[in-house]
Structure 1
Amino acid sequence: MSDDRFLERLREDAAMLRYEPRDAFAWTRLAARVRERVNRPADVSQLLARWFRPIAASFLLLAVAAGVTVTWLERTQPTYPVETIASHPVEITVDGDIFSLTE
C-alpha cells in the first residue's frame, strides 16, 4: 500500500458538497422521494422513448455515414457524369429501328 492520501483528501473535499439535512423529517422526505422515483412504473410513453431513442440514433448514424460516403465517392471520381454520358452514346432499339439520343 502507498501512503498517498488521495482518497482521504477527496472525501474531505467532497464533504463540503454533501447535502445533509439537519432534521429527521427532511431525511424521511428525501428517502421517500428517492424510493418513489425508483419504484415508479414506467409509462407507455417512457417505454416507447426508451426503445425509440437507440433506434433513432442508429438511423442517424447510418444517415451520416451514407452522407459521408456519398461525398467521399463524388470527390474521388475522376470523371463527371456529364462527360461520361457525352462519351457513351445512348441507343434505343424499338422493333428493329435504332434511335440514338446523341444526335
Structure 2
Amino acid sequence: MTYVIAEPCIDVTDRSCIEECPVDCIYEGSRMLYIQPDECVDCGACEPVCPVEAIFYEDDVPDAWSHFTRINVEFFDELGAPGGAARVGVVGHDHPEVAAAPPSA
C-alpha cells in the first residue's frame, strides 16, 4: 500500500508535502505532484500538510478520484524508481489524463 495524490493537486503543486516526506518519494510533474509507490514507506507525513487535502492512503481515496491510484503508478512507467525526487528535479510532463484535465480555477 501507498499514499496517492489526487485531483485537488492539479495546478496547485504547493510542495509542502515534499518538505515533509522523509524518503523523498514525491515527484513533481508539470501540473501536479506524484508519489512513487515503490519508494513510499507509508509514513503519512505528507497527508496532514497538504493545503488542498489531495493526499490519501490508497484504501481511502474517494471513489470519484480512485483512478488517481492508477495515475500515480503509471506516471512512473518510464521514470521507474529513481531513488529520490531531489536528484530528478521537475519531471516536466504529466500523466496524459492530468495533462488533458481542464485548468483548475
Which category of TM-score, normalised to the shorter sequence, fits these structures?
A: under 0.3
**Structure with more relative contact order (C-alpha pairs < 8 Å, separation 6 or more):** 2
Task: Give the number of the structure whose residues are more often helix, by fraction.
Answer: 1
TM-score with structure 1 setting the length: 0.18
TM-score with structure 2 setting the length: 0.17
- Larger Cα-atom Rg: 1
